[in-house]
Amino acid sequence: DTLPVPMGVRAGGKKIAINLHDKIERQGHGPHGLIAGTTGSGKSEVIQSIVASLAAEFHPHDLAFMLIDYKGGGMSNTFVDLPHVVGTITNLDGNLIERANISLRAELVRRQKILNDAGNLQHIDEYYKILRSRHEQRVW
């Protein structure tokens, strides 16, 4: 129901996490963000920490990564063997960039169709609620 990403520990041992869920009522910070800084300030390391934390917290069936790395693959190559990684693209893969755009658009259409077919749902949480109720009906 949430996507907490452990990020560190405060003085005194309290854990710090960001929640990538987009619903405020679930204490979500949202799935969109910006990591900015000067060269060498640690932006890539922050992204690597987020990816590693998500991979440690969630099963590959629940979370997948398509890593797009415009630094020649230095960051994405670290994770290429994770079962969560469905693909990597770097700025060195010129012909793959357009293929990735086509694949991402196709995935978006596929997901929209699933939500539409399930009753013109507006949010993935509604879909999961339906799936859980169907599962509960089968179990009982």
The string of pLDDT tens digits covering residues 5-55 is 888 889 999 988 888 877 666 677 777 778 889 988 988 888 888 899 889
Q: From start to end of the chain, where are the E strands?
A: 4-9, 15-19, 65-69, 85-90
Best mean pLDDT range from 24-28, 100-104, 111-115, 135-139: 111-115
Residue located via tokens 């069936």: 61
Q: Percent of the chain scored above 70 by pLDDT?
A: 91
pLDDT of residue 139: 41
Best CA proximity match to 26, nearest among 133, 134, 137, 124: 124
Closest-CA residue to 20 (of 9, 12, 11, 29): 29
60-76 b/e with 16+ CB inside 10 Å = b? eeeeebebbbeeebebb
Position with higher pLDDT, 73 vs 81:
81
Question: In percent, how much of the chain has pLDDT > 90?
Answer: 21
Residue 2 above 80 pLDDT? no
